[in-house]
Amino acid sequence: MEYLNKNITDSFGREHDYLRISLTERCNLRCFYCMPAEGIPLRPRSEFMKKNEVVDIAKTFVDLGVKKIRLTGGEPLVRNDAKEIIEALSLLPVELAITTNGILVDKFINTFTSVGLKSVNVSLDSLQREKLNTITRRNYFDSIMSNIQLLIKQNFHVKLNAVIMRGVNDDEVIDFIEFTKENNVHFRFIEFMPFDGNKWNWKKGVSYKEMMTVINSSYFDKVQRIEDGKNDTSKNYKIEGYNGTFAVISSVTNPFCDSCNRLRLTADGKLKNCLFSNSETDLLSSLRHGENIRPLILESVWNKKARRGGMDTLAQFSNPTEHSKNRSMLAIGG
């Protein structure tokens, strides 16, 4: 097959210049929407990318036009050589960012600063201690909140991600927005998405429309729409006079597939051309055999489906036999 150019383009003309790299499937939290209650099987380290393999694969993507790399997990900072990987990737001509649960941020903040990493996403599904501990099945509330404040004080671009779940934390949406009054953060509310093992049911979900109805009824004409960035996954807002902003990521009810520019590399070196796709391309094995992985990348992306891995309707998306073919969110990388 002949591809349009050296850039990573699919058959719908979408150019992909944003790569999310999962460094590990391990995590020091056990969030129930991300990880099955029984956990996931631990595999030998040999099945996962080594530091030099992460960098080599990343270089190939950069040569193909990737301009932004975000490190994810599991929890990326639990990896023993996370510091060395961050430093090595910072030498590439890309914007480097990270998504973390926040627990270890204070141990790495000097590294972030020294390499120029300024964008940090932190998962924060509740502002209430006991509720957060229940969601994460761990007790790290104080560490997480302290490290969020540390990032804010050191002028990082901080995004806080909350998966909004009915009967769990949907009563905190206004509290989350109030957090932006004094804190210069971007709080993002994510519709509950289906992955293997998270017992997804849309009855547990809260739609973009429902969230905005609650928000508009609380703030009225103080809700201001902000222009979305190119390829933005979120619909962005702020409250008049507040320091921070907020947004809704409506992957379920109003997907943003038409402008998707994202690719995911799992910790075991598989390329996923869509978060919801159950197909993967094994780059790591080919790399280890000395093969050129560039054609594999181009072919995988060229064959990307128009929407949500081929699940065009909400009925398809809600079918458990469809999303159970995919990995858990932990094993994909956030």
The residue ranges of every structural domain in the chain are: 18-332
Q: Which fold has domain 18-332?
A: TIM Barrel (3.20.20)
C-alpha–C-alpha distance, residues 4 and 8, integer Å: 9
Instruction: Tell me what pLDDT residue 123 has.
Output: 95
Average pLDDT (276-301) is: 95
For 103-117, 222-236, 282-296, which range has the lowest pLDDT when averaged over its residues?
222-236
C-alpha–C-alpha distance, residues 333 and 73, integer Å: 5
How far is C-alpha 159 from the chain's CA centre? 11
Q: Give 173-232 pLDDT, tens digit per residue.
A: 999 999 999 999 999 999 987 655 445 677 888 999 999 999 999 999 999 999 998 888
Return the closest-CA partner of residue 33 out of 169, 272, 193. 193
Q: Give 115-125 pLDDT, tens digit per residue.
A: 999 999 999 99
pTM for the full predicted model:
0.90
Q: How confident is the model at residue 253 (pLDDT cuts 50, 70, 90)?
A: confident
What count of Cα atoms within 13 Å lies in the side-chain half-sphere of residue 126? 22
Instruction: Tell me what pLDDT residue 277 has.
Output: 81
Residue appearing with tokens 């293997």: 196
Q: How confident is the model at residue 1 (pLDDT cuts 50, 70, 90)?
A: very low
C-alpha–C-alpha distance, residues 204 and 167, integer Å: 7
Instruction: Tell me what pLDDT residue 137 has.
Output: 87
Contact 319, 332 (CB under 8 A): no
Average pLDDT (56-71) is: 98
Residue 38 pLDDT exceeds 50? yes
Average pLDDT (30-59) is: 86
Return the closest-CA partner of residue 141 out of 29, 24, 25. 29
Q: How confident is the model at residue 252 (pLDDT cuts 50, 70, 90)?
A: confident
Residue appearing with tokens 């996931």: 40
User: Pick the residue with more confidence: 287 or 137?
Assistant: 287
Helices (H), 77-196: 82-89, 105-115, 129-136, 141-153, 173-182
User: Pick the residue with more confidence: 42 or 194?
Assistant: 42
Instruction: Tell me what pLDDT residue 2 has.
Output: 45
Q: Give 75-93 pLDDT, tens digit per residue.
A: 999 999 999 999 999 999 9
Contact 49, 81 (CB under 8 A): no
C-alpha–C-alpha distance, residues 50 and 52, integer Å: 6
- Mean pLDDT rounded to a whole number for the chain: 89
